Amino acid sequence: MTARRIADSSVEMTEILLPQHANALGTAFGGTIMSWIDICGAICAQRHCGRIAVTAYVDDLEFLAPIRVGDIVQLHARMNQAFGSSMEVEVEVKRERAGEAHLARCAVARLTFVNVGPDGRPAPVPALVLETDEARLRAKGADERRAQRLAHRKRAVD
């Protein structure tokens, strides 16, 4: 399998927050944003491995600033690291609001997706080419989080 670059799978997704996406305060319902994050991350993972990828784990999801009805929502997903059959993807959510000069960072999440083969079993994924110091740092963070997840999983089984 040929290693793939981060740019090969990065995703830009744009939505607009409509009334049906909002809570009683007129700001985004968290579940809507989580769903968009999952979709954006899954597209990224699937572009990397070239097959269906299922969500296995959401490491952390932080809501940093509110999104109001009428705001444009920009989601950006990028691969942090590829393991055996799993991949860590980071998704960042930004708000584009009329009258505001800058995009506001509203949420960030890291998710683990698993490549599923035709037999329904986890299948190997291509390696990720780490071309910059920033990419290497992100990958190192992903390695550490994976080690913690596996230790936690082992404890839960034991």
Among 31, 84, 100, 144, binds ligand COA (CB under 6 A): 84
Of 58 and 69, which CB lies nearer to ligand COA in the complex structure?
58
Which of 14, 87, 80, 76 has the alpha carbon at shortest distance from 50? 87
Pick the binder of ligand COA from 54, 65, 103, 147 (CB under 6 A). 54
Residue 59 as a binder of ligand COA (CB under 6 A): the answer is no
Rounded to whole angstroms, the Cα distance separating 128 from 2 reads: 9
Total residues interacting with ligand COA, rule: CB under 6 A: 13
DSSP-based three-state secondary structure for 77: strand
Choose the binding region for ligand COA from 26-34, 84-92, 101-109, 128-136 (rule: CB under 6 A).
84-92
Residue number with CB closer to ligand COA (47 or 149): 149
Please tell me the distance from the alpha carbon of residue 141 to that of residue 80, in angstroms, as a whole number. 8
- Applying the rule CB under 6 A, the residues between 101 and 120 that interact with ligand COA are 112, 114, 116
Q: How far, CA to CA in Å, does 42 sit from each of 22, 52, 88, 97?
A: 23, 8, 10, 26
Of the pair 136, 152, the CB lying nearest ligand COA is at 152
Question: 């999440």: which residue's tokens?
Answer: 109
Strand runs labelled E in 23-117: 53-63, 72-82, 86-96, 104-115
* Single-letter amino acid, residue 26: G
Q: Which of 34, 39, 47, 122 binds ligand COA (CB under 6 A)?
A: 122
Q: Rule CB under 6 A: which residues touch ligand COA?
A: 54-57, 83-86, 112, 114, 116, 122, 149
